[in-house]
Amino acid sequence: LVCAAGYTEGGRLARVMPGWQVIGWALILCLPLAVAGSAVAVPLEPVHLTAHGVLGLVWVAAGSTFFGLFVWYKGMAGIGVPRASQLQLAQPLLTLAWSFLLLGEEVSAAAPLAAVAVLVCIAATQRTGRRGRAAPRPAGETGPLRS
């Protein structure tokens, strides 16, 4: 629920401010939790810094997270939070497909069936959402909407 609230607020904010600022503020607001978690974790698991590890951390922080969320929030601002959230349900399916195609991961027989079920649900919610919307009111017209 916390992630859903964050995505919704981020999509709303991306309409009024650049995506990189939305992400920047989100990361700043999360910093106290990250520092507290690190303070607890570091004594339990000593850190052995390597160039490879530092480059991986920089990539996850700057590339994957920052750039990925920048594109995500720009998309949410463009197509709307409800449609984007439904589209995000397809992300695990794409991960499954790409891991099979690019990495040769084994896929169980149930995985494609679950993928099809999720895609059917996404399509159904997209179609229902379009039918359930009220017709836009013509400019200058007042009173009840007519069908």
Averaged over 53-76, what is the pLDDT? 82
Are residues 36 and 11 part of one domain? Answer: yes
User: Residue 144: inside a domain, yes or no?
Assistant: no
Averaged over 102-115, what is the pLDDT? 90
| Contact status, residue 8 vs residue 62, Cβ threshold 8 Å | no
Instruction: Find how far residue 124's CA is from the centre of its chain.
Output: 20
Averaged over 69-87, what is the pLDDT? 79
Are residues 61 and 126 part of one domain? Answer: no
Positive or negative torsion for Cα 80, 81, 82, 85: positive
Are residues 72 and 98 part of one domain? Answer: no
Percent of the residues in the chain that have a pLDDT greater than 70, as a whole number: 86
Q: Which of 9-13, 21-25, 135-139 has the lowest mean pLDDT?
A: 135-139
Number of domains in the chain: 2
Confidence bin at 133 (pLDDT 50/70/90): low
Higher per-residue confidence, 58 vs 1 = 58
User: Residue 137: inside a domain, yes or no?
Assistant: no
User: Residue 37: inside a domain, yes or no?
Assistant: yes
Express each pLDDT in 25-51 by its tens digit. Answer: 888 988 999 899 989 998 898 888 899
Are residues 20 and 65 part of one domain? Answer: yes
Are residues 58 and 3 part of one domain? Answer: yes
Are residues 13 and 66 part of one domain? Answer: yes
Are residues 103 and 73 part of one domain? Answer: no
pLDDT of residue 125: 75
The parent domain of residue 74 ranges over 1-42+52-80
Are residues 98 and 71 part of one domain? Answer: no
Averaged over 132-146, what is the pLDDT? 51
Averaged over 13-29, what is the pLDDT? 85
What is the DSSP code string of 70-107? Answer: HHHHHHHHHH-HHHHHHHHTTHHHHHHHHHHHHH----
Q: What is the pTM of this model?
A: 0.52
Are residues 63 and 21 part of one domain? Answer: yes
User: Residue 26: inside a domain, yes or no?
Assistant: yes
